[in-house]
Amino acid sequence: MSRIFTVSVASVHPHYVTKAERKGRSRDEVDEIIRWLTGFDQAALDKHLAEETTFEDFFEAAHLNPSASLITGVVCGIRVENVEDPLMQKIRYLDKLIDELAKGKSMEKILRTPA
């Protein structure tokens, strides 16, 4: 089991926000991405952050967006679509979406909104 599985989402969330804000994006956009991916509303997301839910429990409670399979590309030198462990793949999906936000992609493209 990877160590990241037992890390709290709340401990990583500020890093996502900092990464986004350095590039002129916002916490609201980070949270929108997380809500889109997980199916949580803002109250549920805030509750998970307050309770310091681990990534394992966080994604276990989530209802992954059906369009998540459209997320492709490389994070930390690894293609997200080729990650074999389902939990690690979900974590990499989130990392990839935050990377796309920081790179300036539009929210429509990040959230895989059909044209």
- Quick: pLDDT tens for 77-89: 999 999 999 999 9
Q: What is the pLDDT of residues 96-106, one digit of tens each?
A: 999 999 999 99
In eight-state DSSP terms, residue 8 is B
Domain boundaries, the chain: 3-104
Please name which of 72, 80, 68 lies closest in space to residue 36, comparing C-alpha atoms. Answer: 68
Q: Where are the beta strands (DSSP E) in 16-105?
A: 74-75, 78-79
- pLDDT attached to residue 67: 94
Tokens representing residue 97 in the block: 């979406």
Q: Please tell me the number of Cα atoms within 13 Å of 108 on its side-chain side.
A: 2
- Classify domain 3-104 at the CATH class level: mainly alpha
- pLDDT attached to residue 113: 83
Residue type at position 6: T
Please report, rounded to a whole number, the percentage of residues in the chain having pLDDT higher than 70.
98
Residue type at position 105: K
- pLDDT attached to residue 1: 64
Q: What is the pLDDT of residues 32-55, one digit of tens each?
A: 999 999 999 999 999 999 999 999
- pLDDT attached to residue 27: 97
In contact, 54 and 8? CB cutoff 8 Å: yes
Q: What is the pLDDT of residues 56-70, one digit of tens each?
A: 999 999 999 999 999
